[in-house]
Structure 1
Amino acid sequence: MYKFFITLRYLRSRKISFFAVAGVAVGVMTLIVVLSVMNGFDQELRSRIRGTLTHIIITKGGMYGLENYTQVMEKVKATEHVSSCAPFVEGPALIKIRGRKEFVYFKGINPVEEATVGDFKAFLSPFRKEPEDLQKTHGENQTASAFCGIELLRVSPGDPETDPISFVQEGEQIVLVTLKNWDKISVKAFVIEGTFKSGMYDYDKNYVYIPLAAAQELTGIKERDAVSGISVKLHDYRYANEVRDKLQSSLGFEYYVQTWEDARRTFLTAVMLERRVMAFILFFIIVVAGFNILAILTMIVLEKSKDIGILKALGATTQGIMSIFLLNGLFIGSIGSCVGAAIGFSVVLRINWLESILYNMTGWRPFPPEVYYFDQIPTVIKPASIMITIFIAILSSVIFSIYPAIRAARLDPVETLRYE
């Protein structure tokens, strides 16, 4: 029992111990905040990428090589766990919009079917549009409609609700230029029927939705009634790999069947690697706090050598002296971890409020929406990673207290008391 009381006395009497606790607290707090924000970014990015694609994508050799797509769709719909599917024609094009020319991707879709496999309807809802509006035609020439990404229509900085003049307006004409049958130039005009916003800057800047029939006519595959691929939605994404393998086996090797994660594997791997590297780098804050503990406890051993000699003379064992300083490290790590976790949770829960205060005071935003394309900083608290962080902090505190504990235990009481 004496070990516990002596440990508490050393912690209370030495104000410098509070700096050791603060070091651990700062390390734990930083790890919790950064990991929560990184997990939030990862989850939000996955959600938005998943919305722009679909659960499973089926393509065939060549950009417009899927000719028997109606038969393939029937086979896909009969597969277990499949909810719906929709054909699409996708390809690169040069767009002329208000005199400026840019490279974009067009996506020809059946809007009703497309709304059942992804978030297409949700992309249109902020602008009070419905998927069926894409099927409208305009004027005597029956010009087809188009939905353009919000960033593609941007003319100057501004918000579409409060500053509509900063965007190309509905009813204006655009022209798409692409290859037809790989050896001719195809040019077709469209009328902007509406705007969409997916939440992914690259997608909103570089994509145009047009009707499926118009896309087939633009690319010269209308006679063959071919498409680029088929989007598939499942009842439950947990079965994605199972359904992918089953479809690949039933359709044959000439078809390419992949999940949205397969299609964006490089990007998702880069995000995951960045999160792990960030956690590894920030872990060294806890290591620095550990060296701080080692230095402080070593200094306490030197200052309290007389006390240690008296304890040994009174019958304290070597293990008992070691336990005092190991308990010091344990208490410093435990208190610092609890304080750091409490502050970290508070920061994570109020991080958007803190950012707004910082922005109002300084005009600077750590996470500007125009760069990261998030209205708020996304955060996700994972209990498992928090527990691991706290455990590592406490364990490292104990490990760094081993050296001063051994040094204290090896003190000779006779020599110590003689020279003191």
Structure 2
Amino acid sequence: MALPYELLIGLRYTRAKRRNHFISFISLISMLGIGLGVAALIVVLSVMNGFQKELRTRILGVASHIQITGISGELENWPAIAAQAKGHPAVREVAPYVQSQGMFSVDGQVKGVLVRGIVPDMEDRVADFRKTIQSGSLDALQPGGFGVVLGADLARSLRVFTGDRVTLIAPQGTVTPAGVVPRLKTFTVVGIFEVGMYEYDSGLALIHLDDAQRLYQMDDRVSGVRLKVDDLFQAPRIARELAGHINADAYLSDWTKSHANFFRAVQIEKNMMFIILSLIVAVAAFNLVSTLVMAVTDKQADIAILRTLGARPRSIMAVFVVQGALVGCIGLGLGIAGGVALALNIDVVVPFIERITGVHFLAKDVYYISDLPSDLQWGDVWGVTAIAFVLSLLATLYPSWRASRVNPAEALRYE
């Protein structure tokens, strides 16, 4: 099938050598501008997706999908509540915990921490602490052994290692005739973990559930029960369903509520970066306007000849739309290729730049995540592609309309 002559002429104008090389230069700049804008948008969206995924993974490695906590801070008869929760078909595992504030003291060094009492075997089913152990073992937490597993930054600030002793001061005091005396207990460091999030690595300590119950005088009560579900994105719905089946005065909260600020902030940043970088793509796309206006001026004699041969104004307009769209598509293709390649290899590129410059972009004590993650989602790529293509087409309309309005007599007067 023969191609329309508008398409053939538009392709010829794009690849032909022009008398005015400045037009070719402007076309190249427009093409590269679109490519850089598209590549930047793909990379930034991939990095924001990576941050969201990494943040969710690390938080849920320490937190839980759903938590059932007592209204008064204590939950009685937790085995029955755990059994009721386990009866839901979407709940995979349950684990009790005791959580309270405390203060560690070592050789004059004092550090406030969040103390969590766990049962190691049950905790493995709802969290990934075992994968983060740097030294020692989680199994060393034995009832009555008063062992403690510290976050890496917490251990560093206290200047302790596995096998050292630390003193834990509980906020609950013991009433004596002399007044309220703080409860003190010496613990042995049996392990050190590193989640990769400064909040947990610097402020969380794990002890055995029985030891926590003794220290905080909770008898056989716990602070709550942690649940792991089949699909973490269905946690809000499952929590609502469990609320009608749990026979206890308790709160149910899922991970989207417990850490809503983190994920909301990341989503807002992603949306704002998308808008800002879309404007960059728009600026690059509208560079095509100046390119095509100059091309129309350069081709006025050709346009006049085509008009005298019977070409309609809409055919002349189609010629320059094809030319502009082709420039935009080439830039778009380069941008997609470069953006996808960089997004897939950002874990190699960024460390290379850091080694050359000697600058660490994400300091661990400032940011929750110290590495630059990337999660390329093809839905974002196709969305960026569609936006850039539409902007490129819009940029061709005005110059093409001007070309269709060229008067053949005026254009050929001085030829």
Q: 1:29: how far off?
A: 0.7
Residue 275 in 1 paired to residue 283 in 2?
Answer: no
Q: 1:249: how far off?
A: 0.8
Do the aligned residues in 1 keep the contact of 2:113 with 2:204 (CA within 8 Å)?
A: yes
Pick aligned residue for 1:132 from 128, 136, 139 = 139
Q: What is the DSSP-based 3-state SS (H/G/I as helix, E as strand, rest coil) of the residue aligned with 2:69?
A: strand
Q: What is the letter of the counterpart of residue 173 of structure 1?
A: R
Superimposed CA distance per residue, residues 374-403 of structure 1 (whole angstroms, 9 cap, x where no aligned partner): 575321111111011111111100001101
Residue 177 in 1 paired to residue 177 in 2?
Answer: no
Tell me the residue number matched to 1:162.
none
**Residue range with higher mean Cα deviation, 181-190 or 374-383:** 181-190
Do the aligned residues in 1 keep the contact of 2:143 with 2:209 (CA within 8 Å)?
A: no
Tell me the residue number matched to 2:92.
83
Q: 1:246: how far off?
A: 2.2
The 5-angstrom pairing of residues 36-47 of structure 1 reads 36-47=46-57
Q: Distance in 2 between matches of 1:267 and 1:374?
A: 12
Residue 53 in 1 paired to residue 45 in 2?
Answer: no
Q: 1:155: how far off?
A: 4.5
Q: Distance in 2 between matches of 1:253 and 1:401?
A: 66
Residue 200 in 1 paired to residue 197 in 2?
Answer: yes
**Residue range with higher mean Cα deviation, 347-356 or 190-199:** 347-356
Q: Distance in 2 between matches of 1:245 and 1:253?
A: 15
Residue 415 in 1 paired to residue 410 in 2?
Answer: yes
Do the aligned residues in 1 keep the contact of 2:136 with 2:162 (CA within 8 Å)?
A: no
Superimposed CA distance per residue, residues 9-41 of structure 1 (whole angstroms, 9 cap, x where no aligned partner): 332334221111111111111111111111111
Identity of aligned residues (%): 34
The 5-angstrom pairing of residues 167-316 of structure 1 reads 167-180=159-172, 185-222=182-219, 225-237=220-232, 239-251=234-246, 254-316=249-311
Q: What is the DSSP-based 3-state SS (H/G/I as helix, E as strand, rest coil) of the residue aligned with 1:220?
A: coil
Q: What is the letter of the counterpart of residue 339 of structure 2?
A: G
Do the aligned residues in 2 keep the contact of 1:80 with 1:243 (CA within 8 Å)?
A: no
Q: What is the DSSP-based 3-state SS (H/G/I as helix, E as strand, rest coil) of the residue aligned with 2:394?
A: helix
Q: Distance in 2 between matches of 1:8 and 1:44?
A: 46
Q: Distance in 2 between matches of 1:240 and 1:354?
A: 36
Q: Distance in 1 between matches of 2:346 and 2:321?
A: 36
Q: 1:418: how far off?
A: 2.3
Do the aligned residues in 2 keep the contact of 1:181 with 1:221 (CA within 8 Å)?
A: no
Tell me the residue number matched to 2:20.
none
Q: What is the letter of the counterpart of residue 151 of structure 1?
A: D
Superimposed CA distance per residue, residues 240-268 of structure 1 (whole angstroms, 9 cap, x where no aligned partner): 33431221112258321122122111211
Q: For structure 2, which runs of at least 5 residues remain unmatched after alignment?
A: 18-22
**CA 1:155/1:206 → structure 2, altered by over 3 Å: closer, same or farther?**
closer
CA-atom RMSD in angstroms: 2.3
Q: Please give the TM-score of this superposition, normalised by the length of structure 1.
A: 0.89
Q: 1:49: how far off?
A: 0.7
Residue 333 in 1 paired to residue 328 in 2?
Answer: yes
Tell me the residue number matched to 1:140.
none
Tell me the residue number matched to 2:152.
150
Tell me the residue number matched to 1:9.
12
Do the aligned residues in 2 keep the contact of 1:355 with 1:365 (CA within 8 Å)?
A: no
Aligned residues: 400
Superimposed CA distance per residue, residues 180-210 of structure 1 (whole angstroms, 9 cap, x where no aligned partner): 2799533222111111112221101100001
Q: What is the letter of the counterpart of residue 387 of structure 1?
A: W
Do the aligned residues in 2 keep the contact of 1:37 with 1:379 (CA within 8 Å)?
A: yes
The 5-angstrom pairing of residues 317-328 of structure 1 reads 317-328=312-323
**CA 1:371/1:294 → structure 2, altered by over 3 Å: closer, same or farther?**
same
Q: Distance in 2 between matches of 1:128 and 1:4?
A: 71
Q: Distance in 1 between matches of 2:206 and 2:66?
A: 20
Q: 1:66: how far off?
A: 1.0
Do the aligned residues in 1 keep the contact of 2:153 with 2:202 (CA within 8 Å)?
A: yes
The 5-angstrom pairing of residues 337-376 of structure 1 reads 337-368=332-363, 371-372=366-367, 376=371
Q: Please give the TM-score of this superposition, normalised by the length of structure 2.
A: 0.90
Q: For structure 1, which runs of at least 5 residues remain unmatched after alignment?
A: 138-142, 157-166
Q: What is the DSSP-based 3-state SS (H/G/I as helix, E as strand, rest coil) of the residue aligned with 1:80?
A: coil
Q: Distance in 2 between matches of 1:358 and 1:40?
A: 19
Q: Distance in 1 between matches of 2:342 and 2:405?
A: 44
**CA 1:325/1:367 → structure 2, altered by over 3 Å: closer, same or farther?**
farther
Do the aligned residues in 1 keep the contact of 2:347 with 2:372 (CA within 8 Å)?
A: yes
Q: What is the letter of the counterpart of residue 187 of structure 2?
A: F
Q: What is the DSSP-based 3-state SS (H/G/I as helix, E as strand, rest coil) of the residue aligned with 1:384?
A: helix
**CA 1:357/1:267 → structure 2, altered by over 3 Å: closer, same or farther?**
closer
Q: What is the DSSP-based 3-state SS (H/G/I as helix, E as strand, rest coil) of the residue aligned with 2:64?
A: coil
Do the aligned residues in 2 keep the contact of 1:127 with 1:196 (CA within 8 Å)?
A: yes
Do the aligned residues in 1 keep the contact of 2:196 with 2:370 (CA within 8 Å)?
A: no
Q: Distance in 2 between matches of 1:246 and 1:414?
A: 78
Pick aligned residue for 2:125 from 116, 123, 133 = 116
Q: What is the DSSP-based 3-state SS (H/G/I as helix, E as strand, rest coil) of the residue aligned with 1:92?
A: strand
Q: Distance in 2 between matches of 1:239 and 1:375?
A: 29
